[in-house]
A and B are shown apart, each in its own frame.
Chain A
Amino acid sequence: MPTLSYHRPSSIAEVARLARDDPDAKLLAGGQSIIPSLKLGLLAPSALIDLGGLPELRGVRLEGRSLRIGAMTSHAEVANSPEVRKHVPALAHLAAGIGDRQVRNRGTIGGSLANSDPAADYPAAVLGLGAEIRTDRRAIPADSFFKGLFETALDPDEILTAVEFPLPERAAYVKFPQPASRFALVGVFVSLTGKSVRVAVTGAGPCAFRVAALEQALAKRFAPESLHDITMPADTLNADLHGSAEYRAHLIPVLTRRAVTQALA
């Protein structure tokens, strides 16, 4: 029977050492993806390195014109954080819509981002706000973080420590749930900061992505009407039981319009 070691280090340095010494070990954040994967036998790491003993990875802090959210901050903490609700209400709304109550109390922003599930919500916000991913060794801009299906720019032993979100003028997230799992069949995050518009989509591709055509149209005028004639090509989009690629392509501009309407409200 396979055995699994468990570590609960109390410093980042110790995490780094454990991760470096055992390439088959996995970092454990909230465990909302990794634990089910272990139970289903989809993953068989040699060890779990639990980040739960590192209080410095937890919490929300306003730093000038950006919000710093620690990697181990739970979805519920983000959803209920006064700072997030005041400065980026769209992000609080997004966090409040992840999974169910248990998932939100256990799952963390860092875990979600490092996992890069194609239907996770947070990647849309990170891309849609142009956030910066902080690790134990560098800062990675959102635009170069998501690499593919369950694939990120993180090195195997790299530790995601925090996310820095610049404060937008306007932002909104609209999710169309897959009926069974309630993950995003398509989710769209839009933001407006100065003249810069970002439109990030989750659920529709191998990982979250931005849509230049929608951003350009909205940069001319940030209004739902700006998107009326825009259609999305379906060829690179996900298709499954719950949504064909064409359906997802159809939903992206529809949800973007709704997000813009919400952002303006």
Chain B
Amino acid sequence: MSSTRAPLIGQPVERKEDYRFVTGTGQYTDDIVLPRQTYAAFVRSPHAHAHLRSVDVAAARDAPGVLAVYTGKDLTSIGGVPCGWLIHSIDGTPMKEPKHPILAEDKVRHVGDPIALIVAESAREAKAGAALVEVEYDVLPAVVNLATAAASSTSVHDIAPDNICFTWAVGDKAATDAAFARAAHVTRLSLVNNRLIPNAIEPRAANAHYSPASDSYTLYVTSQNPHVERLLMAAFVLGIPEHKLRVVAPDVGGGFGSKIYLYAEEAALVWASRRVGRPIKWTAERSESFLTDAHGRDHVTTAELALDADGKFLALRVDTIANMGAYLSTFAPCIPTILHATLLAGQYATPHIHCQVRAVFTNTAPVDAYRGAGRPEATYLLERTVERAARELAIDPPELRRRNFIRTFPYSTPVGLTYDTGDYEATLDRVLELADVHGFPARKAESERRGLRRGIGYSCYIEACGIAPSSIAGALGARAGLFEAGEVRVHPTGKVTVFTGSHSHGQGHETTFAQVVADKFGLPLEDVEIEHGDTAKVLFGMGTYGSRSLAVGGSAIVKAADKILTKGCRIAAHLLEASDEDIEFRDGAFRVKGTDRSKTFAEIALAAYVPHHYPIEQLEPGLNENAFYDPPNFTFPAGSYVCEVEVDPDTGAARVDRFTACDDFGNVVNPMIVEGQVHGGLAQGIGQALLEGCRYDEESGQLLTGSLLDYALPRADDLPNFRVETVKGTPCKHNPLGVKGCGEAGAIGSPPAVINALLDALAPCGVRDLDMPATPLRIWQAIEAARAKR
């Protein structure tokens, strides 16, 4: 018996999870109502920076339905929100790591900082109770401006009087400076990578429950990595045994990074659930999400590129100030350093690179990874600078890039990474063709007839995904390993459940991972179920971020599946009376090589669980294997993007008219899902370039863009019909699937393409520079300023 079929890998298989999502039967944290459920609300600081003179909770405690009120004073016995990454300054000193209390103790440090937790019979009563808490503040001046934070006379934290968390650098400074000294041309640019607010469609939520019967806790939470959440919560915050805390991240409606972190609210709920003796649920309102989800980006940078007379890059020098916000979020210190500065070689063989990063505290929400995390910031400054250099040297921008492409692999960059493989020429050639760059002049002329200015812009990005070899991450400051775990459980009937430490919150793992395992065993897709998101089910996991799930989590599953096949071969050898070496697994069956004798996958599974005729002395019964996979290197997806914009010079309104993306993700498991990921990334990248910009009032530290009325998320009609293609590409050389990761590419590669296109369109008006988001107001002001200079 054999079941030959076409491989599922590479097929645009429809997503298994969509049935429940489109029929409204998904199970999100807020859907979970436990017996004797109670509800929480938080009292939050209306000030960016203040001493707490007094917090009076008496009236709140007496309010109808209120069961308990807690403040920072009640929580002094437990730890603060921990940071998972330690960065050292150039002088060897560790970063300043101030305590991040679960509830404010003596001071509040950003608008929205939680001060008190109210637990009540209903969410309404909790909220009404919160309104009765009386707080007296001594308001302090707020540190808001990133660029001047270090010079401020106000300190966010006493342990960092100058507000500097660390000053870190990578690269050979002397060699870089020397290369600048002999350069024929230097291009300089100052730019801002605008602060973004993640806005997952499902706000953060948690439901915590303590069971006296088992003396254990269960936390349902919107998390991208439940095991990491459990480890941090148990070991670093609450000091409870890890095996006495179960963390479940059920269906999660998007994260974009913002749900990686351990947040104070979740810790407060777990702690209080034991004291209240009933489960406590909290779901953020959208305005709370705006104030308290970790924000993204927020860099101020100067970049300099040294070139020789032929347009060859000699050196790159970068100086960045990165905003940490008021406290260090879980991964915050690694984003502007390890995930930013190490990417500055991009696709180019620049021999010398030096980057210094100063991280500062401000009285704003914590800043951490957001789709791309460091890599968009690196790509933006590099691709803006390269395009500026091309303009200054009157070289066609794609041509300047081509002259500097890395062509031999593996390639070790001067900033610490080793690219295993790539073909940058291939994606650039293809995108120029797909984008019909030759037709641009005609389209430009046509736009001009309508009074509009058309521009074209390019971006060639690289990213490092699949974080990471744990040893390297550890050497770079990670306080955790960054492997992934997987378990393949073959049931007696030959059906399969796969447990993965990766977490799906929009990525479609239930489909792609099933495709991989179904192919491995020659099974139909529906015979494979993917389980994730529950520490009681899944052996371990480091979670989903940095486009790592398939490259790292998928590889762990493949390793476990290989163990299943190895064991299956031994069972088959026994049953077929052959030696182990003579058995091969092919087309869904274990076969004696060169004969027609075989056992199907299901027959072997049954034999493993009904071991009547079984090599019981050599082999355990059952067919269940797990594996941990620690990647030997990052993966390096890359691609080339072309953007065409039209600008209305009378109003400053800009529209992306065409956007073409050509990516090399290595092998592709599900091209439909990959295309969807690229679409989503492009939407967020174009959003960053044109629409999204978090703004705090410079004086008061109030969030000015605190709702969707003022924070502009991209909508469908802000976006063109994307042309997206994935080239056959260069498979990753060091993971078993040859995959690289695709979740962030669009958000990484697109912002510089958009701004470069705008600057091309506006060059005739004399506009040379433009910061994101390039809103109509900003574009109009840039045009007016250029006009005034003439």
Which residues in A have some Cβ–Cβ distance to B below 8 Å?
Answer: 1, 176, 179-181, 183, 185, 241-244, 247, 250-251, 254-255
Contact = CB atoms under 8 A, between A and B. Distances in A.
Interface stretch (B95-103, B441-449, B772-780): B772-780
Given A241-B705, A250-B780, A1 B710 contact: no
A62 B404 CA distance: 71
B781 interface: yes
Q: What 5 A-B pairs are tightest by C-beta distance, nearest first?
A: A180-B712, A179-B712, A181-B709, A1-B128, A254-B650
Contact of A242 (B64, B775, B781): B775
B711 A180 contact: yes
Nearest to B709: A181
Contact of A176 (B125, B653, B710, B781): B653
Contact of B695 (A241, A254, A255): A241
A225 to B, nearest CB: 14
B704 A241 contact: yes
Interface string B634-656: 00000000000000001111000
Contacts of B583: none
Contacts of B777: 242-244, 247
A174 to B, nearest CB: 10
A179 B651 contact: no
Contacts of A247: 652, 777, 780-781
A254 B651 contact: yes
Contact of A1 (B64, B776, B780): B64
A165 B125 CA distance: 48
Contacts of A180: 691, 705, 708-713
A5 to B, nearest CB: 18
29 contacts: A1-B64, A1-B128, A176-B653, A176-B776, A179-B712, A179-B775, A179-B776, A180-B708, A180-B709, A180-B710, A180-B711, A181-B708, A183-B709, A185-B776, A241-B695, A241-B704, A241-B705, A242-B710, A242-B775, A242-B777, A243-B777, A244-B781, A247-B652, A247-B777, A247-B780, A250-B780, A251-B651, A254-B651, A255-B651
A92 B477 CA distance: 61
Q: Describe B's contact surface by its main secondary structure.
A: loop
A145 B124 CA distance: 39
A1 B124 contact: yes
A176 B712 contact: no
B691 A179 contact: yes
Nearest to B708: A180
A181 B706 CA distance: 12
Contacts of B653: 176
A29 to B, nearest CB: 21
Interface in B435-493: none
A148 B3 CA distance: 77
Contacts of A244: 777, 781
Interface residues of B, number: 23
Nearest to B63: A1
A241 B710 contact: yes
Interface in B614-661: 650-653
Contacts of A241: 695, 704-705, 710
Contacts of A1: 64, 124-125, 128
A39 to B, nearest CB: 9
A58 B216 CA distance: 60
A37 B439 CA distance: 51
B787 to A, nearest CB: 12
Interface string B676-720: 000000000000000100010000000011001111110000000
Nearest to A255: B651
Interface in B120-155: 124-125, 128
Contacts of A179: 691, 712, 775-776
Contacts of A243: 777
Contacts of A183: 709
A241 B711 CA distance: 10
A180 B777 CA distance: 13
Nearest to A100: B715
A216 B361 CA distance: 56
A181 B651 contact: no
A150 B781 CA distance: 30
B667 to A, nearest CB: 39
Nearest to B710: A180
Nearest to A251: B651
A180 B691 CA distance: 8
A250 B651 CA distance: 8
Nearest to A242: B777
A242 B780 CA distance: 12
B294 to A, nearest CB: 21
B710 A181 contact: yes
- Which of B124, B651, B653, B708 is packed against the most chain A CB atoms within 10 Å? B651
Contacts of A242: 710, 775, 777
Given A242-B775, A247-B780, A247-B781, A176 B708 contact: no
A241 B710 CA distance: 8
A242 B773 CA distance: 11
Contacts of B712: 179-180
A185 B709 CA distance: 12
A173 to B, nearest CB: 16
A243 B779 CA distance: 11
A147 to B, nearest CB: 24
A265 to B, nearest CB: 15
B3 to A, nearest CB: 49
A51 B695 CA distance: 40
A254 B648 CA distance: 11
Nearest to B704: A241
Interface in B331-366: none
- Which of A180, A181, A247, A255 is packed against the most chain B CB atoms within 10 Å? A180
Contacts of B695: 241
Contacts of A185: 776
Given A181-B708, A247-B780, A251-B651, 4 more contacts: A179-B691, A180-B708, A185-B776, A254-B651
Nearest to A254: B650
Interface string B711-737: 111000000000000000000000000
Contacts of A254: 650-651
Interface string B397-409: 0000000000000
Contacts of B711: 180
A241 B781 CA distance: 13
A206 B650 CA distance: 24
A185 B128 CA distance: 35
A145 to B, nearest CB: 25
Contacts of A250: 780
A264 B780 CA distance: 27
Interface string B748-790: 0000000000000000000000000001110011000000000
Contacts of B776: 176, 179, 185
Nearest to B693: A241
A250 B787 CA distance: 15
A169 to B, nearest CB: 27
B283 to A, nearest CB: 15
Contacts of B710: 180-181, 241-242
Nearest to B776: A179
Contacts of B128: 1
Contacts of A181: 708-710
A176 B651 contact: yes
A183 B128 CA distance: 32
A241 B775 CA distance: 10
A85 B712 CA distance: 32
B661 to A, nearest CB: 24
B312 to A, nearest CB: 41
B686 to A, nearest CB: 13
A185 B780 CA distance: 14
A180 B197 CA distance: 13
